[in-house]
Amino acid sequence: MRHQLDSLFNPASAAVIGASTVLHKIGGRRWRSMVEANFDGPLYPIHPTASEILGRKAYPSLRDVPGPVEMAVVLVRPDLVPGVIDDCVAAGVRVVVVITAGFGETGDEGKRAERGLVDVARAHGARLVGPNCAGLFSASGHVNALGWSPPRGPIAVISQSGNMALTFAQLAREKGLGFSKLVTIGNAADIRVPEYLDYLFADPDTKVIVAYLEGFGPLEGRALFDCVRAHPSPKPVIVLKPGETESGRRAVLSHTRGARRRTPDRRRGLQAVRHPPRRRERRGLGHGHRPRVSAAAPGGNGGRDLGRRRPRDHRLRHGGSIWPDRPDARPGHPATAA
């Protein structure tokens, strides 16, 4: 039976709603990266007035597209998103990636609007990534809605921060590593981390999973641990959890408000650590011993502290932690600079 998230990572058809003819803008960058990824199936740019973008026929709305759309990427104003979600479910879209910010991270009113998006999607059998995310990359599906090109390899990344995902990609490129899947989850209003793990455990292209999580929902840490423990073929999972310092909490609150969610502890199956796992533990993860979850608390400063104890490359290859060293990395939405 096909996994529901296969519609996200290996869709048969896709649309970018809010694709732009100005290629340096958010919608232009995402559309160009999707085109340059050599997506195998029908790929539709949605723009209210353009006739074509990068040689592909454009359509004024999803309702005008001539064929089915399995996955849609949304880059429109917050007030337009509910109507776009209605169009998506009417067209039978299975997964909607909402890059648009301005929902749950803004407060109670935004959370109610966000909940409304999820309710509409779920009522029609669709799922939602985000909102307030930065897109995704899938090497197997030839999908790239990030606006930049990550290197390919055996690592899967789940990140609440688009900027940290970019930092990981820069570090991986420098070290000759790469990614099988990379998904930025933003507010994670619908699909949560255990679901991504369940999918990635079965992904033949993924050997190790890195998750940068600004917060956990109620019982989510427990669910994450149970997923690893109960799965017949789990893989090494490294969780980076910011917000353990005051500056880190401020950074997280300014992005997804994730510091208001619970942090992992022993009762939920995750123990926060402030230093990289010991070498013998890393070797155990990569050499036949039962994989485990390693949770690292990188401290504040938007990830700067990670660079102070960066392990050697072989540690990542054998299931150790990934430690970015770019000094200006900060959690946040990369689109804020657009």
What number is the average pLDDT over the span 210-218?
85
Asked if residue 94 has pLDDT above 90, the reply is yes
Asked if residue 263 has pLDDT above 60, the reply is no
What number is the average pLDDT over the span 46-63?
97
Domains of the chain (ranges, CATH numbers)? 6-129 (3.40.50.720), 150-332 (3.40.50.261)
Provide the pLDDT for residue 164: 94
Q: How far is Cα 204 from Cα 28, in angstroms, rounded to an integer?
A: 32
Asked if residue 239 has pLDDT above 50, the reply is yes
- Higher-confidence position of 78 and 280: 78
Provide the pLDDT for residue 316: 31
Checking DSSP bridges between strand 56-57 and strand 136-138, what pairing results, if any?
unpaired
Provide the pLDDT for residue 244: 62
3-state helix, strand, coil in the chain (%, to 5): 35, 20, 45
CB atoms within 10 A of CB 98: 31
- Higher-confidence position of 254 and 113: 113
The model's pTM: 0.78
Provide the pLDDT for residue 272: 47
Asked if residue 318 has pLDDT above 70, the reply is no
Q: How far is Cα 316 from Cα 195, in angstroms, rounded to an integer?
A: 23
If pLDDT is split at 50, 70 and 90, which confidence band does 231 have?
confident
Q: How far is Cα 159 from Cα 129, in angstroms, rounded to an integer?
A: 12
Strand partners, 143: 138
- Higher-confidence position of 247 and 174: 174
Least Cα distance to 182 among 146, 128, 213 occurs for 146
Among residues of the chain, what percentage have pLDDT more than 70? 72
pLDDT in tens, 155-178: 999 999 999 999 999 999 999 999
Among residues of the chain, what percentage have pLDDT more than 90? 62
- What are the angstrom distances between the C-alpha of 250 and each of 19, 180, 195, 242, 257? 32, 32, 28, 10, 9
What number is the average pLDDT over the span 61-73?
97
Task: Please report, to the nearest 10 degrees, the dihedral formed by the alpha carbons of residues 110, 27, 139, 103 taken in order.
Answer: 0
What number is the average pLDDT over the span 87-116?
97
Provide the pLDDT for residue 243: 63
Q: Which of 112-121, 221-230, 328-337 has the lowest mean pLDDT?
A: 328-337
Asked if residue 303 has pLDDT above 60, the reply is no
- Higher-confidence position of 150 and 231: 150
pLDDT in tens, 102-146: 999 999 999 999 999 999 999 999 999 999 999 999 999 999 999
Least Cα distance to 179 among 133, 128, 143 occurs for 143
* Type of residue at 81: V
What number is the average pLDDT over the span 311-330?
32
- Higher-confidence position of 315 and 59: 59
If pLDDT is split at 50, 70 and 90, which confidence band does 60 have?
very high
Provide the pLDDT for residue 227: 87
Provide the pLDDT for residue 77: 97
